[in-house]
Amino acid sequence: MASAEPQSLANHKRIVPGFHQLGFALVLGYLALAIVQLVRQPGLSAVGGVLIALIFIVLTWYVRLFPLVVQDRVIRLEERLRLARLLPADLQPHIESLSVGQLAALRFASDAELPALVRKVVAEKLTSRQAIKELIREWRPDHLRV
């Protein structure tokens, strides 16, 4: 999924319009119609319509959540291996203590700036993904995200 524009903090988030916008809007629209139907013509079938809409909402949520959890686990593994290869000996003990959020943010840092960023993250106890990403000067793109 190469992009013509280099990836950066400003454009690194991946939005799939068919899922994030259209799909979610359709599910919410179906819920709204089911509620209107329940109010106008109360009955077992109208209750069933609302329940089906709620099932769609729950399914939509988990269809998005489960791949993100797997993605975070893969990122954790990849970044721990990368850090083991790139960090100096004094920072090696900190690899296991970095959270998934910290590792996910640090994955965008270039190999050259990674040791200094890890040192700063550890020293200042930075946990915000956004704050860590804002420190990155030389962006390492990741186009293979869910």
Confidence of residue 146 (pLDDT cuts 50, 70, 90): low
Q: What is the pLDDT of residue 3?
A: 54
pLDDT at 90 over 80: yes
How do residues 21-77 score in pLDDT, each as one tens digit?
A: 888 899 999 999 999 999 999 999 999 999 999 999 999 999 989 998 999 999 999
Residue 16 has pLDDT above 90, yes or no: no
Cα separation of 103 and 125, whole Å?
Answer: 13
This prediction's pTM: 0.74
